Structure 1
Amino acid sequence: MSRKFIIRRLGVFSIFLEPSRLRAFARSSELGLIFAAAVVGVVSGCVVTGMSLISQAMHRSIFQLDDGVRLSSIAAADWTLLFLAPIAGGAVLGLLLFVLTRYRKKPMVDPIEANALHGGRLSLNDSLIVAAQNLISNGFGASVGLEAGYTQLASGFASKIGLLLQLRRADLRILVGCGASGAIAAAFNAPLTGSFYAFELIIGSYAIVSLAPVIVAALISNLVARAFAADNFLIEIGNFGSVIPADYIPALMLGFLCAGAGILLMKGVAFVEETARKSFIPPYLRPLIGGALVGGLALVTPQVLSGGHGALHLNLDQQGTMMAVLGILLLKALASAISIGSGFRGGLFFGSLFMGALLGKLFAFFAALVFAHTTFTPVTYALVGMSALAVSVIGGPLTMTFLALEITGDFPIMVLVLAAVITASVTVRNTFGYSFATWRFHLRGESIRSAHDVGWIRNLTVGKLMRADVRTASVHTSVKQFRQDFPLGSSQRVIILDDNGKYVGIVLVPEAHAGVTENSDEDKLITDLIRYQNDFLQPEMNAKQAARLFDETESEALAVVNDFIERRVVGLLTESHTLRRYSEELDRQRRSAAGEI
């Protein structure tokens, strides 16, 4: 039986046997993108399950834990292992960093940066390396979660699938969001949380065209993870009372408190990183020292180790003293800052949830004395603090609100959490202006505030927009000779060069033909008519920067030079062409977001 006969018999399903038809189906049909998202969902569920099981196996093997016991909740352990394991992890990670610094020069791109600057193009090899680093860090007990590795690897596979299908820029960005959506949905048994994580943090906007693929990826990934790992990812919250209007006042106050704590945590990580960078310690030795410090903190309490899943449940179930809760909170914050600042790979997603729960329980000690008419229980304060601190660090108000809803299944509690989350989010945005990810971009010199697609602006460069066929004249040319060489109508403007070919300025041809009529004046050099001597563009500038320079210089066209030193003219760009192309791209982006193209 021939291949062609089989394809004819399969009818519409034959697209799955023909790569070219499959690519066309994915590019031309919304159903095709949904199908691709479903595949990404399956991959994401497998990624989360696999990484989680590997991490738990490492914990059991390295720390000699019993089955079902979480590292951060152990009561008795070998204190030597608690101290030495993070050091060993730092040594292994340092060796990997040493190898990477010799063979890889480019920084690794995460999903937010990929969608903001590169149209969803994310290296799968880099994603595998990041996931391996995250597993080493978490598996040896560093105070980092696995969520960064989950989203990086799932998004890396999603980007690879999208590139194989040759998806358009907008669709590729959506598919990368599907990978992150599936990863978070599987990690927390929370499809809505994963979906809004993608909308708010990875795609950067919500659109009807992206709704179905993102939701499908989240649902399928969650089902796959539940099939493999059952209740391995569940967060269980205790009982809490009903919500009354008086409960909103302490919730809002806790939101303000969490905003301040989140800013301090992010600045603490940046301080440790800056201190390590300015020190004499080479990068590949920093994880070793960081591991020793984390190991020392683990001797005080093992709750600082790893992401903190076990410690979170331990503290939700038990009622500790105020000093005990405060101590664990400070030690966990310090361990997280040291771990990330010293070079361990991971994120603060679950760490911020754990620290937020501790901060909420700490707030409950004072709230019981001040707010006598509320129905808040310590567990309720913990839930509100958990969401508010997480949004302060990670961002995504609706993401954290839906996480509270999917954990509790209680709508009134969700509304209460929403009030605290919005308070924390607005406070951080207006006083600090960054989430943890965008703060690190800022420290690196990038101006990314979200995953909103700004890469197309950077791709619309002066070098791509300019005309290379420019007319030039020497700075020693007389007005008479200039008129002869460039009669009216021959050109609008001429670029003037010195003896070494360097840019001097621009002369407008109509101006050279106006104002001077006597022969004695025609022997003057053209230098008196030169404009824009120090105003020019460079090929790497984007259209937005060029438009700003046109506005500042009040010019209709500017020369393009190769650099500030050599000043060799490589082209000419007009304001009208720049604004027209910029407007066309803006309109294309708008229509793409609306699903019109």
Structure 2
Amino acid sequence: MSNRPSNRQSNRQSTTVNMIYGLRRFLRKDQTLLGILALITGLSVGIMVVGFREGILFFHGLFFGAADERLFLSVLELPWWQILLVPTLGGLVIGLLIHKTLKEARPEGVADVIESFTLRNGRMPFWSGLRAAFINMLSIGVGASVGREGPAVHLGAVLASGISQRLRLAPPLARTLLACGVAAAVSASFNAPIAGALFAGEVVIGHYALKAFAPVVLSSVAGTIMSRAYYGDFPAFTLPAHGTISYLEYPTFILLGVLAGFCATFLLQGIFKTQKLSQKLPLPAWAHPALGGLALGLIALVLPQVLGVGYGATEMALNGQMALWLLLAVLAGKMLAVMISLGLGFGGGIFSPSLMVGAMLGGAYGILMISIFPSLDAGSGGYTLVGMGAVAAATLGAPISTALIIFEMTGDYQLTLGVLLAVVTSTAVTRQIIGRDFFTLQLAQRGLDLKGGYETQVLRALKIADVMEAEPQTIAPNTRLSEVRIRIQKSKAAKLFVVEPDGTLLGTIRLIELGDMAFNDKDDGDKTAADIVRRRPPLVKKDDDLQTAIRKMTDSGESQLAVVKDMESFKFVGTVEHMHVLAAYNRALLASRHEEHDQ
């Protein structure tokens, strides 16, 4: 009888210990840990995005006396000197901040997130990212014609990366958590949880595997919850009522998509041509934003709608409150203002400006179509909405998530087919002309081509030094032809590498160099390897990546290449074969996919 209490106590202790160990095993599972971190990240990013938006409004109130996002209404009441002074002095401060506080001395945004995910396993510098967020906030605050969503995405990614680095997460988990930060930022910015998750999958991750996508969805929902808790559950824009869309109107949406594609192409080309022209200015780089601010102020004296994010003017266009001439004038002015702002070094994104450009284009197009065909049911507001989606999708290169953002921002799904038709058409037109979107163009300017996605980056991450044969058979330049003939018949690739005594590669000898002498020794004479060597063979450097090797093998038609230390010394260090390159790539790709999909 006396042992019963002790037995009960022992059982309780054993149960408690088992529960603790069970909880530890549960938390050790990557997917469980990732789910918890995704929730924390989503909530944190949601709060940060709200703070970012409120910071922009604070600067608008401080510099322009604006009480809400309809900045241009406040600008109309300001003296001309203030309209010129604020963006000019603001640009000067921003230029100095960029060149004094950011490592790369340039604004940061979504392109940096894509680069980090693809090339750096989701690692982003935390404090530099926070400084970039402040610079982006100030840029929009002084009236730069840029967007707030791109900087919000960058801020969300920086926060997620900070968490993963603090916890020392493995690369697959760090990459997924980075995508969680992106999704939460998009969803909190647009009150669009579905679009946030799909944007992360479409633009950053590049796939929708369940193991990666499930935490992204969770984080996106968490970000939306925080945004709705502060701003309420309301659509960003409201549309006037319109009739049921007839199938006869679909050709007009396709035509609008074509125009939107050309418009997006012109906008993108204008931004990057402005950047190139700015490099020729007789001014230091830190002064470029000040010059851009002055030009922006001059435009705003005539068209104040071009300042800032532009959602106030977009709302007016959606509700048919702008005349045709004003829509066209603001369309031209906004495109010029965006080119100046982004081309001359202000920090900010492209999404909001592309929405406004699309709204002006769609609104003007709708007025013209209705004047020709009065029976059209979509109304000018409907065409404005379609134009917004078409220009934004072509600019960002993200048709799926852009279409969903439009639907979730307006709460209007009656124009689903019209928006999708225009989005697909505009994206196709832009890709046909320039082949890239805003983010890949930014990366291309840095010498980065990420078109192939993560699979291509796996190939680029592998170095030739990892797969080359370090001790291949070589021959000296003075080797007699009879010996060359014997050696080449025994070589597995029917190729010999002729190397000087000091290790310098002289060239290669193949059967084609031997010609008739391959099987006929009558004309050997005093000939040596140096007499028939091919002195400029295709080759690669030791520190080149495997993509370079594949490209050179394809161009030359040869399956084996010489490897040199560098192009200056030409010191021969080995050979690399096509089959070894492919085997290394397959191993790395399978290992990567095993980590991501848990197969």
State the TM-score, normalized to the length of structure 2.
0.87
Q: For the Cα contact (< 8 Å) 2:43–2:222, is it kept in 1?
A: yes
| Residue 577 of structure 2, aligned match among 553, 574, 578 | 574
Q: For the Cα contact (< 8 Å) 1:117–1:454, is it kept in 2?
A: no
Aligned residue identity for 1:550: M
Q: d(CA) in 2 for partners of 1:578 and 1:522? A: 40
Q: d(CA) in 2 for partners of 1:318 and 1:576? A: 63
What is the match of residue 286 of structure 1?
288
Are residues 238 and 536 of structure 1, via their aligned partners in 2, closer, same or farther at CA, if it must alter by over 3 Å? same
| Residue 370 of structure 1, aligned match among 366, 369, 372 | 372
Deviation at 1:480, TM superposition (A): 7.0
| Residue 548 of structure 1, aligned match among 537, 545, 551 | 551
Are residues 302 and 485 of structure 1, via their aligned partners in 2, closer, same or farther at CA, if it must alter by over 3 Å? closer
Q: d(CA) in 2 for partners of 1:87 and 1:405? A: 37
Q: Which aligned pairs between 1:61-72 and structure 2 lie closer than 5 A?
A: 61-66=62-67, 68=68, 70-72=70-72
What is the match of residue 3 of structure 2?
none
Are residues 485 and 105 of structure 1, via their aligned partners in 2, closer, same or farther at CA, if it must alter by over 3 Å? farther
Q: d(CA) in 1 for partners of 2:53 and 2:454? A: 30
Q: What percentage of aligned pairs have identical amino acids?
A: 29
Are residues 491 and 337 of structure 1, via their aligned partners in 2, closer, same or farther at CA, if it must alter by over 3 Å? closer
Q: Find out whether 1:34 has 2:35 as its counterpart.
A: yes
Q: For the Cα contact (< 8 Å) 2:508–2:537, is it kept in 1?
A: no
Q: Find out whether 1:253 has 2:262 as its counterpart.
A: no
Classify the secondary structure of the residue corresponding to 1:238. coil
Q: d(CA) in 2 for partners of 1:127 and 1:539? A: 34
What is the match of residue 308 of structure 2?
306
What is the match of residue 11 of structure 1?
20
What is the match of residue 18 of structure 1?
none
Q: Give the aligned length.
A: 581
CA offset digits 1:369-391 (Å, max 9, x no partner): 33343212111111111111111
Q: Which aligned pairs between 1:357-436 and structure 2 lie closer than 5 A?
A: 357-436=359-438
Are residues 275 and 590 of structure 1, via their aligned partners in 2, closer, same or farther at CA, if it must alter by over 3 Å? same
What is the match of residue 154 of structure 2?
152
Aligned residue identity for 1:569: F
Deviation at 1:78, TM superposition (A): 4.0
Q: For the Cα contact (< 8 Å) 2:119–2:457, is it kept in 1?
A: yes
Classify the secondary structure of the residue corresponding to 2:561. strand
What is the match of residue 60 of structure 2?
59
Are residues 7 and 71 of structure 1, via their aligned partners in 2, closer, same or farther at CA, if it must alter by over 3 Å? farther
Classify the secondary structure of the residue corresponding to 1:278. coil
Deviation at 1:517, TM superposition (A): 7.2
CA offset digits 1:248-272 (Å, max 9, x no partner): 1211111111111111111111121
CA offset digits 1:68-88 (Å, max 9, x no partner): 463234342343322211012
Q: d(CA) in 2 for partners of 1:7 and 1:71? A: 60
Q: Which aligned pairs between 1:197-212 and structure 2 lie closer than 5 A?
A: 197-212=199-214
Q: d(CA) in 2 for partners of 1:506 and 1:314? A: 71
Q: d(CA) in 2 for partners of 1:128 and 1:7? A: 43
Q: Which aligned pairs between 1:521-532 and structure 2 lie closer than 5 A?
A: 524-528=527-531, 530=533
Indicate the RMSD between aligned Cα atoms, in angstroms: 3.3
Q: d(CA) in 2 for partners of 1:251 and 1:216? A: 34
Are residues 188 and 365 of structure 1, via their aligned partners in 2, closer, same or farther at CA, if it must alter by over 3 Å? same
Deviation at 1:364, TM superposition (A): 1.4
What is the match of residue 557 of structure 1?
560
Structure 2: 5+ residue stretches without partners: 1-12
Deviation at 1:327, TM superposition (A): 1.1
Q: d(CA) in 1 for partners of 2:200 and 2:493? A: 52
Q: d(CA) in 1 for partners of 2:106 and 2:331? A: 36
Q: Which aligned pairs between 1:142-541 and structure 2 lie closer than 5 A?
A: 142-230=144-232, 234-449=236-451, 452-478=454-480, 495-498=497-500, 500-506=502-508, 515=519, 524-528=527-531, 530=533, 533-541=536-544
Q: d(CA) in 1 for partners of 2:306 and 2:454? A: 34
Deviation at 1:393, TM superposition (A): 0.8
Classify the secondary structure of the residue corresponding to 1:537. strand
CA offset digits 1:84-141 (Å, max 9, x no partner): 110121111121133247x657996611222233332322233223212211211111
Are residues 588 and 532 of structure 1, via their aligned partners in 2, closer, same or farther at CA, if it must alter by over 3 Å? farther
Aligned residue identity for 2:551: R
Q: d(CA) in 2 for partners of 1:459 and 1:167? A: 20
Aligned residue identity for 1:567: F
Aligned residue identity for 1:578: V
Structure 1: 5+ residue stretches without partners: 16-20
CA offset digits 1:272-322 (Å, max 9, x no partner): 111111222221110010011111112213211111122222333452221
Classify the secondary structure of the residue corresponding to 1:566. coil
Are residues 106 and 379 of structure 1, via their aligned partners in 2, closer, same or farther at CA, if it must alter by over 3 Å? closer
Question: Once structures 1 and 2 are overlaid, which stretch shifts more, 206-215 or 193-202?
Answer: 206-215
Classify the secondary structure of the residue corresponding to 2:498. strand
Aligned residue identity for 1:558: L
Deviation at 1:524, TM superposition (A): 4.5
Q: d(CA) in 1 for partners of 2:415 and 2:472? A: 67
CA offset digits 1:359-412 (Å, max 9, x no partner): 111001210133343212111111111111111111211112212322343433
Q: For the Cα contact (< 8 Å) 1:119–1:453, is it kept in 2?
A: no
Are residues 262 and 583 of structure 1, via their aligned partners in 2, closer, same or farther at CA, if it must alter by over 3 Å? same
State the TM-score, normalized to the length of structure 1.
0.88
Q: For the Cα contact (< 8 Å) 1:145–1:346, is it kept in 2?
A: yes
CA offset digits 1:35-88 (Å, max 9, x no partner): 22212211210221111111111111121234x463234342343322211012
| Residue 134 of structure 1, aligned match among 129, 133, 136 | 136
Deviation at 1:338, TM superposition (A): 0.5
What is the match of residue 46 of structure 1?
47
